[in-house]
């Protein structure tokens, strides 16, 4: 059966993952894209983690390449773009998945260097990867960019820097969609909600000093939709749709994947 991304080449940033019990968003997106026929450049500053994703993909007989880069650095984004072109000859899809949460702190307690780091990872990285990938997509006559934002961009959260940086990702998404729509480049973002991923469960349970099961139960009851939290596969299937030609008339969209959490106002 034909894959939904047959013949496409994708770059996924943050294609490794935080170690834990479950699969992370970047790894699930990479695996699903490969299963659907894409060749994938697996970018991560932690090469060993990207290589684990590579092994999962190649074990299924699909093609990928793990590549070490820190996407907060312009030169690494340039190298990442060149590596993709050298190995796969083109770039059809860019998924800006890297992200970091930080502590639930307001301006009084949050350190300036943490604010800068969170903005660099979450927002500046989108600017920098776009800087190098967009000219290539323009030369090819089009492409697709998917930014992994967060429902935190629009919901109340005490994580000030995280929320503000994800709101910036949404703004970048809409600006790029308008700027590059005439060139055939679609730009959309996904806002995952409460997900059962290591970034959330391992990261937050450690930060708050509570057990993973306690945290899972607490998060599950905040989700309106029956079944509790989502998983990285929910993010990945949304990304697959947006990356595929099925979404050819969709650009500038900011899609919640959150079991209805953002629909509950008041
Ligand atoms: N997990 C959730 O509950 C949740 C909810 C909402 C939004 N998100 C968003 O999903 C995205 C990532 O999810 P994930 O599950 O893949 O996270 P993850 O922590 O499992 O994986 C992120 C990967 O990015 C890599 N990375 C971090 N900074 C980097 C940098 N500067 N350059 C290159 N690589 C870097 C890390 O090494 C890691 O392998 C983030 O943007 C996050 O904000 C997650």
What pLDDT does residue 233 have?
A: 98
Residue 218 is assigned to a structural domain of this protein: no
CATH number at 28 reads 3.40.50.720
| Rg from Cα positions in the chain | 17
Inside any domain, residue 17: yes
Residue 119 confidence class, pLDDT cut points 50, 70, 90: very high
Is there a domain that residue 47 lies in? yes
pLDDT band at residue 110 under the 50/70/90 scheme: very high
User: pLDDT band for position 95 (50/70/90)?
Assistant: very high
Confidence band for 100, pLDDT divided at 50, 70 and 90? very high
Task: Indicate the average pLDDT of the chain.
Answer: 97
Is residue 118 one of the residues assigned to a domain?
yes
Is 254 contained in some domain?
no
pLDDT tops 80 at residue 55: yes
Is residue 97 a part of any domain in this protein? yes
Which pLDDT does position 60 carry in this prediction?
98
Residue 237 lies in a domain: yes
pLDDT digits (tens, 9 = 90+) for 57-73: 999 999 999 999 999 99
Residue 132 appears among annotated catalytic residues = no
Distance 244 CA to ligand 1 centre (A): 22
Question: Is 198 part of a structural domain of the chain?
Answer: no
CB 18 within 8 A of CB 203: yes
Which domain does 20 fall in, by range? 9-193+231-249
Q: In the structure, which protein residues have their CB atom closer than 6 angstroms to any atom of ligand 1? A: 13-14, 16-18, 24-26, 44-46, 49, 69-72, 97-99, 121, 148, 150, 192, 195, 197-200, 232
* Residue identifier of the C-alpha nearest atom 42 of ligand 1: 99
Number of domains in the chain: 1
**pLDDT above 90 (res 2):** no
Contact partners, residue 86, CB within 8 Å, separation at least 6: none
CA 206 vs. chain centroid, Å, equals 22
Helix (H, G, I), strand (E, B) or coil at 107: coil
Is the model's pLDDT at 177 over the cut of 90? yes
pTM of the model: 0.98
Q: State residue 103's pLDDT score.
A: 82
Ligand 1 mean position to 20 CA, how many Å?
A: 13
**244's tokens:** 């595929």
Mutate to test the pocket of ligand 1, among 121, 199, 223, 257 (most ligand atoms within 8 A of CB): 199
The backbone region for 244, taken as left when phi is positive above 0, alpha when psi lies in -120 to 50, beta otherwise, is: beta
Q: What is the DSSP letter of 95?
A: E
Q: How far is the CA of 15 from the centre of ligand 1 (A)?
A: 8
Tens of pLDDT, residue by residue over 122-175, are 999 999 999 999 999 999 999 999 999 999 999 988 899 999 999 999 999 999
């Amino acid at each position: 059966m034909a894959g939904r991304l047959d013949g496409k080449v994708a770059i996924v940033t943050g294609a490794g993952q935080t170690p834990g019990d479950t699969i992370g968003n970047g790894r699930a997106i990479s695996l699903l894209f490969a299963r659907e026929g894409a060749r994938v450049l697996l970018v991560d500053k932690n090469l060993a983690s990207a290589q684990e994703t590579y092994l999962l993909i190649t074990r299924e007989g699909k093609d990928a390449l793990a590549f070490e880069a820190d996407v907060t650095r312009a030169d690494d984004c340039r190298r990442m773009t060149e590596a993709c072109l050298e190995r796969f000859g083109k770039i059809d899809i860019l998924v800006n998945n890297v992200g970091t949460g930080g502590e639930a702190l307001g301006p009084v307690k949050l350190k300036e260097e943490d604010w800068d780091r969170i903005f660099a990872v979450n927002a500046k990285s989108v600017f920098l990867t776009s800087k190098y990938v967009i000219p290539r997509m323009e030369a090819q006559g089009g492409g697709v960019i998917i930014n992994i934002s967060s429902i935190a961009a629009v919901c109340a959260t005490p994580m000030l820097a995280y929320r503000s940086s994800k709101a910036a990702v949404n703004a970048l998404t809409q600006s790029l969609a308008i700027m590059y729509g005439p060139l055939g480049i679609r730009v959309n973002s996904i806002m995952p909600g409460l997900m059962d991923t290591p970034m959330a469960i391992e990261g937050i349970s450690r930060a708050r000093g509570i057990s993973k099961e306690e945290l899972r139960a607490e998060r599950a009851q905040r989700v309106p939709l029956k079944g509790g939290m989502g998983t990285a596969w929910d993010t990945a299937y949304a990304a697959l749709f947006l990356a595929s030609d099925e979404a050819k008339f969709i650009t500038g969209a900011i899609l919640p994947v959150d079991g209805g959490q953002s629909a509950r106002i008041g």
